[in-house]
Structure 1
Amino acid sequence: MGNLGWYQLLTTWAKKVGGPKQLMLLLAAGGYIIIRPVEAGGKKIFKLIKSKTKQKANKANLKSFIFTENGFGENELLFSKGDRFFVAVTHDDAVLIEKENDDNNPYFVSGEWLKEVSDYDGTI
């Protein structure tokens, strides 16, 4: 390339595309085409991280209860004495719980059944 380096390279590219204005437009368009998907992906990752931290914060605000027995409950819920769970919402006798460190969350269970196998008292 000689001692002209980048200048020679840019002038060569500019000649191939029809001049410096066209080269600048191509560089700007190419940058836009590359940057926009990266920006969109970054925003999605940011939103995902934000929602995960929000879920953890919401879980920290939920009242926790402990199972007082070992057993196998409704909806394939396997629990042991001392396992902690959180009550997310109740409706009539239906209770939505999330068992701590369980990949199969959440579980819908009966409130009356939950009172029998845990220290759940019917309030959240």
Structure 2
Amino acid sequence: MFGRGRIKGGVRGSAKVLALGPTAKGARQTEKRDVEYGFTLEVSGRVVEHVEEMPALKAPLVGDVLPVTVGGERLRIEWDEVPDIADRARASAAAAQAGDAAGAAAALGFTLRDEPK
């Protein structure tokens, strides 16, 4: 499923990120900010492989749910609706200031561990 541009008659939905990483082409795109990524997504109970350019300021994590538009065999991630890295940092800082260490970690995609005894 590849999504470039608008999908006419597409249906809005969401997709859970199961895996992601730069494609071979994306790994070579060192001079670019927005590089090509491969995603493994769960959409409507179906696992799909998807490739598209990911904006540099977006940083979805495994387990995140992304807004998508699906039309036939095409899929497009709605990057304008995905939080920026700065949004995650602000959410983490707000949780930390409120004394919520677990929330601060979760906003950045981490899980706190219990201290070893």
The structure with the largest alpha-carbon Rg is 1
Larger fraction in strand? 2
TM-score range, shorter chain: under 0.3
Using structure 2 for the length normalisation, give the TM-score: 0.26
Larger fraction in helix? 1
Q: Which has the higher contact order (CA 8 A, sep 6+)?
A: 2
